Amino acid sequence: MEAPPAKKIATREAYGEALLALGKECPDVVVLDADLSGSTKTKAFSKAHPDRFFNIGVAEANMMGTAAGLAAMGKTVFASSFAMFAAGKAWEQIRQSICVPRLNVKICATHAGLTVGEDGKSHQMLEDVTLMRVLPHMTVIVPADAVEAAAAVKALVEFDGPAYVRLSRAATPVVMPDDYKFEVGKGIVLRDGADIALIACGVEVPAALEAADLLATQGIGARVIGMATIKPIDEALITAAARDCGAILTAEEHQIRGGLGSAVAEVVTQHCPVPMDLVGMDDTFGESGTADELLARYGLDAAGVATRAKKLVQRKGA
């Protein structure tokens, strides 16, 4: 009997709700947006706590600097825009004014990746994990679904320091268990298997789970790991996966250069060399289309992940 289709919720929706709840619990939380509060979902917070919400207008660099100033005075600051503009336009301000002095700013960037869809390549941020991951002091989190997004936002309030959370526009399947306990820096084994490990983040986590189903029908056992925290990455879980499975395939809705795949490869090459392959965007920009069409076109859907996984298992056996 087939399982009922998973409920779909956008991670940005979960962020907006979590932020609203935090606003009530934490009087020091201040939220900034750059004229996209309806889309980033900070609007609910802005209505509930108008005194602690500042719309900075279409000026992302200034938003990051303003966030740094608020944090330097003791506030817990959430700053939101589209990933393209938060991580892309304001990278230097994030580096100089937030990461260098290690200030408590949480950058929650929405509309990341291909699943932005029809808006096309100008808005499909595919380089943000790379850009954020190289910054000292920065924590980088890519939640797999709405459950993980809400949990990550709550967890981030508990620690003092800069963080980047990558969120999606499109509604995506909810795959995390109800009793899921998110911990910064820890991945989760969502399905066990011994032939290959699929390590994924964001929307590629449901794709990897579906790919594991496809692989099972071909007699291949895939361990599926949700790796929400790209930095600091869960080295123990990666090392164990390499040891147990002997091959690792990473999957991310992002350039393969510098993202999750690179982060995993840094661990694998140092501690437990095994054959690896990286599913993601291979040195190309995106284009207009629906989210599902784009994931399929660039080999990021379940079928694409499964095909690459099968090839890697063959390579491992050769």
Partner 1 sequence: MSLTNESKARIEAAANQTRIDVVRMVNAATCGHPGGPLGMADFMATLFMEHLRLDTGNLHDPKRDRFILSNGHTCAGLYSILSQKGIIPRDMLMSFRKLGSPLQGHPHRNPELGIDMSTGSLGNGLSVGAGMALAARLNDWDTHIYVASSDGESQEGQIWEAATSAAHYSLANLTVMVDFNNVQIDGEMRKVMNVRDLRTKYEAFGWHAVDVDGHDVSAVDQALCEAKTVEDRPSALICHTLIGKGVSFMEGQPGWHGVAPKDDEAALALAELGAA
Indicate which residues carry an active-site annotation. Answer: 60
Q: Kindly state whether residue 70 participates in binding partner 1, applying the rule CB under 8 A.
A: yes
Cα–Cα distance between 202 and 188 in angstroms, integer?
Answer: 13
Among 14, 20, 29, 56, binds partner 1 (CB under 8 A): 56
**57 lies in the binding site for partner 1 (CB under 8 A):** yes
Q: Toward partner 1, which CB reaches closer, 137 or 154?
A: 137
CB of 67 or CB of 295, closer to partner 1: 67
| From candidates 9, 18, 20, 68, binder to partner 1 by CB under 8 A | 68
> CB of residue 159 vs partner 1: minimum separation in angstroms?
19
CB 237 within 8 A of CB 187: yes
By CB neighbour count within 10 A (0-12 exposed, 13-18 middle, 19+ buried), where does 48 fall?
middle
Q: Residues near 110 by Cβ (< 8 Å), separated by ≥ 6?
A: 11, 12, 15, 36, 39, 40, 41, 80, 81, 82, 83, 167, 168, 169
SS (H, E, C) 4-63: CCCCEECHHHHHHHHHHHHHHHCCCEEEEECCCHHHHCCHHHHHHCHHHEEECCCCHHHH
Q: Which stretch binds partner 1 (CB under 8 A): 57-65, 165-173, 206-214, 283-291?
A: 57-65
Q: How many residues bind partner 1 (CB under 8 A)?
A: 28
Q: Which stretch binds partner 1 (CB under 8 A): 93-101, 166-174, 279-287, 291-299?
A: 93-101
The CA distance from 162 to 60, in Å, is 16
Place of tokens 């990278």: 91
Amino acid sitting at position 143: P
Q: How far is the CB of 115 from partner 1 (least distance, A)?
A: 30
Place of tokens 């983040």: 201
Give the pair of three-digit tokens for residue 279. Answer: 């599913």
The residue among 69 and 232 lying less far from partner 1, judged by its C-beta, is 69
Residues 26-55 that bind partner 1 (CB under 8 A): 30, 51-52, 54
* Candidate residues 62, 239, 288, 307; the one interacting with partner 1 per rule CB under 8 A: 62
Which lies closer to partner 1 via its Cβ, residue 52 or residue 169? Answer: 52
Q: Could you list the residues that contact partner 1 (CB under 8 A)?
A: 30, 51-52, 54, 56-57, 59, 61-75, 92-93, 96-97, 100-101
